[in-house]
Chains A and B, each alone.
Chain A
């Protein structure tokens, strides 16, 4: 792992009006490591991912991605990040292939890469159907392709395996799983599964950290307390 961390947060806070979405978040993720962010619904997991994705600004604290401070140098890290959020970020009336080609052009990626990814997730036969006609699992497979299209250094994965059956999960594993070798921030409602593939874990409750530990030091009590 390189010396400079891929992700560094110091005292990060984010509010929506009066409501605290994130507060006092400090965590360092080395290059190539995986951080699992755990917490109940509304704990601030998705907000944290959106801050890291440069889509939201922090209201306090410091965020640094790949050595670049946010939001001042956000333009320098966009294109080196991949975000797989709840929303697949795909146009429903375009086909999967058209969507991916659109994103490939935005990211300056060759169209061969689109075909390669469609083959990887076994979507090449349904790739010309409008996204609105695909099952949720198929949409998620195309969304995975979109997130990794430009071979990002950091992957931000919000419930990456949502709607995927075990077979489809295996298909996307080389793209978004640990084998991909990217720095990852993952959220999941299955804490055991998330901890199993993480190096670090951050527990959030009402936007505040309850623990920030190496994943193998997180105990059943930590998890129970978090979801109680």
Chain B
């Protein structure tokens, strides 16, 4: 845990210095919402709700998250961070934990910006009463994206076409999480209101997180090997 915290602290410090990841993710999300705002306007109706709103929000956050996934190991690869870490007498799984935690924090910070923007630009029903339910679902979704994203990023960064490999491998694996997130959020953003969080989809999302966290823990060491 101590090593993971050391790596996480370094990653957050690097992001604070370079601002290479989070601003790009936030800008992408807001641009996408603006495009949807104009693209979905139909017969004087310029807001969305229910399952359509859930789909737009989930897909936008997922694509923005992929930007973060692509950047996750770039400094390690380009500046020798991998070698330096591998030379240290530490548990290699701590790198997985640190990178997943960093990506989770980037996603959470992104949502602090993107969800209110979504509420202003697209969502019909008021956002604030729905926020607690949204936070629960998005936190579970973020865990899944963070774990899969870290695994995919560690794999992709070893290849020349890393910008392509990340989405090509990551998006199909994240489809179950996308479906569960959108289905869980749909009723919350609909007329049924904030109290209608479907437990079935939350459970699926939690199971998905657990299974892939275990898979990631089992295979991550092999991704770092020569």
Contact = CB atoms under 8 A, between A and B. Distances in A.
Interface string B83-114: 11111111000000000000000000000000
Interface residues of A, number: 28
Contact of A91 (B6, B79, B83, B90): B79
B176 interface: no
A103 B86 CA distance: 11
A106 B80 contact: no
Interface string A69-106: 00000010011010101011111111000100011011
A91 B226 contact: no
A133 interface: no
B interface: dominant SS: helix
A146 B83 CA distance: 12
A57 interface: yes
Contacts of A91: 10, 14, 75, 79, 81
Contacts of A56: 226
B226 A93 contact: no
Nearest to B91: A75
A107 interface: yes
Interface of A: 53-57, 75, 78-79, 81, 83, 85, 87-94, 98, 102-103, 105-108, 130, 146
Given A106-B88, A107-B89, 20 more contacts: A54-B86, A57-B226, A75-B89, A79-B87, A85-B80, A88-B80, A89-B79, A89-B80, A89-B84, A91-B10, A91-B14, A91-B79, A92-B79, A94-B10, A94-B13, A102-B6, A103-B84, A106-B85, A108-B89, A146-B84
Interface of B: 2-3, 6, 10, 13-14, 17-18, 75, 79-81, 83-90, 225-226
